């Protein structure tokens, strides 16, 4: 995608005008940046293919604990990249990074495998694009941020709502234009029925999956089927549930739109209230509140029942004394105070004409593809300038850790007051003991290496 093509639609044009400083002249023109991907599942390939669409990169290596998955990905990459070369395939990211021949590493593993590869990649001299949430515990995120700064590498987090054209438009033309007035309350939600659940039997591990490597530092669960896509997300062993998966996107977007840093206090309640059958151990119902001076940001998810607003099942709502902004990955609406109809409406930008290959790509999120392309362009621009990308690792750490702390508040059944400077919960030794999860040996937590 070049800028002339992008400016063909008015919605995209207004979005680009808000992208002040995102593009560095010639940043996309440097050919042959050498790329490696760790985690070749659905979203790993999606991220990689979006990068290939916006830059003539050379994908030289792929890594996955599932040999079948990585081999299939290598064949697909050969058909998509300019060179038509098939990248090398690895089962261990450490072997891949030993080559020290990568300029960029993309990390799209399950959440429990974000920290160690990201730190190893920047130490090997690569700039990194790591999927959200950046970590499974707060101490991992702090170690990742420290490693990025120590090595002076660019690290972009896959919170691509910041690169979503219609949301950039909403930030500029609604929020920053002052149409909302004083904003004192924010609501965020997810009502998707996305909590995988069931009781599959324990079974033999297939020959093509290195289950020990796939599990890595997480607890070793009895193998009960291929964990890819949704199954791993239903277990707290590997992630932080729907708050860690979906709230992190919306909360990160709210912080970006409103210029917010760390919340001062976090409170959360919920649990498994309805869907008690099956093995899933993540909450099916949860409410979390992130408190700032003069502002509360409230998150709610339910994996059962109907959404409160069918048009906005996964969304954010900014409430000001002059109006309300409703926004999602698909659209936004601005309602002036006292009005039942929006005065401004913008839809998601699709680029199916510019990128017809999108239409036939398996499991692609068509609405997210333009945002991911812009996110990759921003990443490339930061690499060229050696500046910070829009979703810098520090911002990813704040959003991720806040969601982790919400889950911890729910677990401990009490509010948590956060001291951002100290990186600790105020006056709560028990809570601070949960900021670092135990690692399964022989893996060593990065906070223990510091």
**pLDDT at position 32, please?**
87
The answer to whether the CB of 400 falls within 8 A of the CB of 132 is yes
Name the residue among 236, 210, 233 with its Cα closest to residue 223.
210
Beta strands 104-107; 88-90: pairing state: unpaired
The CATH number of whichever domain residue 150 belongs to comes to 3.40.50.720
Residues 126 and 220 in one domain: no
Residues 66 and 129 in one domain: yes
* Prediction pTM value: 0.93
**pLDDT at position 140, please?**
98
Residues 154 and 167 in one domain: no
Instruction: Enter the tokens of residue 359.
Output: 């239409």
**pLDDT at position 10, please?**
36
The answer to whether the CB of 297 falls within 8 A of the CB of 289 is yes
Query: What's the pLDDT tens digit per position in 30-77?
Result: 558 999 999 999 999 999 999 999 999 999 999 999 999 999 999 999
How many distinct structural domains can be found in the chain?
2
**pLDDT at position 450, please?**
57
Residues 183 and 281 in one domain: yes
The number of residues in the chain equals 450
- What range defines the domain where residue 52 resides? 3-160+366-393
Residues 386 and 420 in one domain: no
**pLDDT at position 16, please?**
37
Residues 137 and 256 in one domain: no
Residues 108 and 225 in one domain: no
Cα-Cα-Cα-Cα dihedral sign, residues 246, 233, 133, 121: negative
Residues 118 and 169 in one domain: no
Residues 206 and 196: their CA atoms lie apart, in Å, by: 21
pLDDT of the chain along its 450 residues, tens only? 343 343 333 333 333 333 333 333 344 445 589 999 999 999 999 999 999 999 999 999 999 999 999 999 999 999 999 999 999 999 999 999 999 999 999 999 999 999 999 999 999 999 999 999 999 999 999 999 999 999 999 999 999 999 999 999 999 999 999 999 999 999 999 999 999 999 999 999 999 999 999 999 999 999 999 999 899 999 999 999 999 999 999 999 999 999 999 999 999 999 999 999 999 999 999 999 999 999 999 999 999 999 999 999 999 999 999 999 999 999 999 999 999 999 999 999 999 999 999 999 988 999 999 999 999 999 999 999 999 999 999 999 999 999 999 999 999 999 999 999 999 999 999 999 999 999 999 999 999 985
The CATH number of whichever domain residue 314 belongs to comes to 3.30.360.10
Residues 377 and 276 in one domain: no
Residues 114 and 98: their CA atoms lie apart, in Å, by: 18
Residues 401 and 415 in one domain: yes
Residues 411 and 381 in one domain: no
Residues 78 and 105 in one domain: yes
**pLDDT at position 31, please?**
56
């Amino acid at each position: 995608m070049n800028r002339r093509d992008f400016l063909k639609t008015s919605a995209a044009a207004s979005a680009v005008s808000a992208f002040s400083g995102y593009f560095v002249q010639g940043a996309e023109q440097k050919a042959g940046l050498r790329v490696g991907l760790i985690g070749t599942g659905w979203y790993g390939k999606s991220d990689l293919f979006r990068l290939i669409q916006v830059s003539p990169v050379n994908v030289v290596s792929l890594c996955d604990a599932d040999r079948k998955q990585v081999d299939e990905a290598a064949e697909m990459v050969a058909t998509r990249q300019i060179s038509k070369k098939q990248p090398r395939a690895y089962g261990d990211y450490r072997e891949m990074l030993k080559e020290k021949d990568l300029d960029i590493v993309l990390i799209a593993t399950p959440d429990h495998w974000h920290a160690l590869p990201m730190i190893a990649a920047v130490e090997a001299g690569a700039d990194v694009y790591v999927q959200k949430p950046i970590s499974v515990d707060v101490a991992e995120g702090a170690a990742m941020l420290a490693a990025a700064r120590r090595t002076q590498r660019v690290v972009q987090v896959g919170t691509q709502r910041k690169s979503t054209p219609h949301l950039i438009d909403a930030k500029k033309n609604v929020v920053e234009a002052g149409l909302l007035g004083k904003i004192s309350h924010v609501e965020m939600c997810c009502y998707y029925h996305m909590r995988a659940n069931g009781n599959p039997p324990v079974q033999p591990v297939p020959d093509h999956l290195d289950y020990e490597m796939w599990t890595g530092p997480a607890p070793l669960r009895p193998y009960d089927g291929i964990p890819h896509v949704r199954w791993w997300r239903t277990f707290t062993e590997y992630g932080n549930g729907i708050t860690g998966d979906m709230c992190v996107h919306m909360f990160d977007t709210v912080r970006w739109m409103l210029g917010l840093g760390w919340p001062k206090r976090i409170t959360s309640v919920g649990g498994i209230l309805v869907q008690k059958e099956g093995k899933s151990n993540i909450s099916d119902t949860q409410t979390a509140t992130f408190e700032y001076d003069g502002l509360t940001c409230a998150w709610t998810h339910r994996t059962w029942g109907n959404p409160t607003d069918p048009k906005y099942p996964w969304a954010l709502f900014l409430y000001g004394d002059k109006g309300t902004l409703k926004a999602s990955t698909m659209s936004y609406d601005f309602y002036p105070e006292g009005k039942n109809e929006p005065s401004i409406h913008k839809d998601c930008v699709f680029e199916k004409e510019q990128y017809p290959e999108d239409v036939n790509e398996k499991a692609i999120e068509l609405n997210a593809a333009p945002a991911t392309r812009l996110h990759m362009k921003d990443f490339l621009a930061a690499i060229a300038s050696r500046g910070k990308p829009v979703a810098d690792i520090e911002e990813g750490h704040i959003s991720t850790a806040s969601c982790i702390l919400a889950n911890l508040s729910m677990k401990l059944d009490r509010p948590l007051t956060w001291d951002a400077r100290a990186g600790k919960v105020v006056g709560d030794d028990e809570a601070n003991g949960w900021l670092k999860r135990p690692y399964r040996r022989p893996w060593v937590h990065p906070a223990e290496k510091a």
